Amino acid sequence: MAVTIVLILALVVVLVSMSTRIIRQYQRGIVFRFGRVRPATRGPGLTLLIPGVDRLQKVNLQIVTMPVPAQDGITRDNVTVRVDAVVYFKVFDPVRAAVNVQDYLFAVSQVAQTSLRSIIGKSDLDDLLSNRERLNQGLEMMLDSPALDWGIHIDRVEIKDVALPEGMKRSIARQAEAERERRARIISADGEFQASQKLAEAARVMSDTPTALQLRLLETVVEVAAEKNSTLVLPFPVELLRFLEKAPDQQPTARPRRAEPTTGRARSDPGPAPAAPAVRPAPGPVAPAPRTPDTGTPDTGTSAAATPDTGTPDAGARRREAASG
């Protein structure tokens, strides 16, 4: 009798152990009775099953972090890249996750890989490097569409790394260096422009008040003299330079010389002297023909020949005596 009781107790213990299951807080239990899923899911704690009739399947409701293997692809601007990502998802409907898909983990992994290759082909290299937020949202929408039928919610998708070829890395480095050089030149030119404006304003102020220029010159001399060096600085007035520049333009022009009588002496001006014109003697008065005492008519047979005037006083007196006689 005692042996029978012991056997019954052992059988009861075995049946209880086979019919009881413990479900954790982050899990949900799905009961299959004769292969048919029960609509109600079992919550956390101790649950009882009918031995040999019910089968319990546990589904994890925690967020799953799944790394997506690196995928090789060609971007829209024909650049070969290698991109990897990570997917965060969780199960919100345990019945769908257990019934509609055989292995939801493997299914999500495959969909993530194909979606990542698709998003690489639709994007440019600049978008992959600088506009990842938009690409993450697009990749999340591509994954969330089929996952809803599996009772899975895609929490977020992040692109981790974009591997570029070495040649493309060097090209991007040269482009970035050129861009930095351009910005440096623009900043330098802007500084020169502002400095020139300030100098122009200072020049206008100093031109209105010449004393300010002298004060500035003395201040510069003081600054140079404050340093311990062997350099001697002598300021040179700018006004003196301006005077020297204007001096050749202010020389008096040569006055015209008076005409000198043409003689045999050489002229002081360079160049060949013009030939002196020949001096013709002035013709003197012609003596009238002598009259005959009888008829009073001029004597046509003999006439006094006009002699050239030599300019001497004796010849002129003889001509006058001949005319009076």
pLDDT band at 306 (very low <50, low <70, confident <90, very high): very low
Q: Is 57 strand, coil or helix?
A: strand
Given this model, what pLDDT does residue 17 score?
76
pLDDT digits (tens, 9 = 90+) for 71-130: 988 888 888 899 999 999 999 999 999 898 989 999 999 999 999 999 998 888 888 888
Q: Is the pLDDT of residue 287 over 60?
A: no
Q: Is 26 strand, coil or helix?
A: coil
pLDDT digits (tens, 9 = 90+) for 211-270: 777 787 777 777 776 666 666 666 666 666 776 777 665 555 555 555 454 444 444 444
The mean pLDDT value of the chain amounts to 77
- Between 119 and 312, residue with greater pLDDT: 119
Averaged pLDDT for residues 166-182: 89
What single letter denotes the amino acid at residue 117? R
Given this model, what pLDDT does residue 314 score?
58
- Between 17 and 273, residue with greater pLDDT: 17
pLDDT digits (tens, 9 = 90+) for 15-29: 777 788 888 998 999
Domains of the chain by residue range: 10-60, 64-164, 169-216
Residue among 283, 285, 298, 287 at smallest CA distance from 322: 287
Q: What angle do CA 128, 112, 59 make, to 5 degrees?
A: 140
Highest mean pLDDT, choosing among 7-11, 72-76, 187-191:
187-191
- pTM over 0.75, yes/no: no
Q: What is the 3-state secondary structure (H, E, C) of the chain?
A: CHHHHHHHHHHHHHHHHHHEEEECCCEEEEEEECCEECCCCECCEEEECCCCCEEEEEEECCCEEEEEEEEEEECCCCCEEEEEEEEEEEECCHHHHHHCCCCHHHHHHHHHHHHHHHHHHCCCHHHHHHCHHHHHHHHHHHHHHHHHHHCEEEEEEEEEEEECCHHHHHHHHHHHHHHHHHHHHHHHHHHHHHHHHHHHHHHHHHHHCHHHHHHHHHHHHHHHHHCCCCCCCCCCCHHHHHHHHHCHHHCCCCCCCCCCCCCCCCCCCCCCCCCCCCCCCCCCCCCCCCECCCCCCECCCCCCCCCCCCCCHHHHHHHHHHHHC
pLDDT digits (tens, 9 = 90+) for 125-154: 888 888 888 889 889 899 988 899 899 999
CA 139 to CA 118: how far, in whole Å? 9
- Between 8 and 309, residue with greater pLDDT: 8
Averaged pLDDT for residues 192-219: 83
Handedness of CA 296, 298, 300, 303 (dihedral sign): positive
Q: Is the pLDDT of residue 175 over 50?
A: yes
- Between 155 and 266, residue with greater pLDDT: 155
Question: Mean pLDDT lowest for which of 64-73, 167-176, 198-207, 256-265?
Answer: 256-265
Given this model, what pLDDT does residue 296 score?
44
Q: What are the C-alpha distances in Å from 128 to residues 52, 111, 174, 209, 222? A: 55, 20, 19, 63, 61
CA 207 to CA 204: how far, in whole Å? 5
Contact between 159 and 75 under an 8 Å Cβ cutoff? The reply is: no
Residue 3 parent element (H or E): helix 2-19
Q: Is 235 strand, coil or helix?
A: coil
CA 114 to CA 156: how far, in whole Å? 16
Q: Was domain 64-164 assigned CATH 2.60.120.430?
A: no
